[in-house]
Amino acid sequence: MSEKHPRLVVRSIGAVLAGFLAVVFLSIGTDAALHATGVFPPWGQPMSDTLFVLATAYRTVYGVAGGYVAAWLAPNRPITHAVWLGAVGVAVSTIGAAATWNAGPELGPKWYPLTLVVIALPISWLGGWFRDKGANSAAR
């Protein structure tokens, strides 16, 4: 095993972790801002489906951004790193859906966590694709 291989593994894990943290911090930050400004009701209070659609929309954008970050920081195979981020998103979203399934209306309608599970992989891939396409077109 060459000395470069462990470095590539660490850089790969770091790229996926950075993409994940970008999604988490952007999502939680936006949630907090929307609660603080009164767009969302106070924490722990039920929200309308329309507000969950809004949350899904910005989480979709942030998922694409996270895939972009993972691909941008990847030492090689950028789209593969974005897909790994998507797989982590599927796992985390599935755990969240299972944990909140019967927890009450303040955690939202059942379609919401299921949507997050379903979109995690394709939106991360899309972010990686945008990064890869942009990097390839810049190289031409």
> Whole-number mean pLDDT of the chain?
93
Angle between helices 49-73 and 111-139 (to 10 degrees): 30
Q: What is the mean pLDDT of residues 114-129?
A: 98
* Among 111, 74, 26, residue whose Cα is nearest residue 83: 74
- The pLDDT tens digits for 59-108 are 999 999 999 999 999 999 999 999 999 999 999 999 999 999 998 887 88
Cα dihedral angle (108, 111, 116, 118), rounded to 10 degrees? 170
Write out pLDDT tens, residues 9-22. 999 999 999 999 99
**Stronger pLDDT, 51 or 140, i.e. the higher one:** 51
What is the per-residue pLDDT for 104? 80
Q: Is the pLDDT of residue 2 over 60?
A: no
Alpha-carbon span 37 to 94, nearest angstrom: 29
Across 6-34, average pLDDT = 96
The pLDDT of residue 1 is 42
Q: Where are the domains of the chain?
A: 4-139
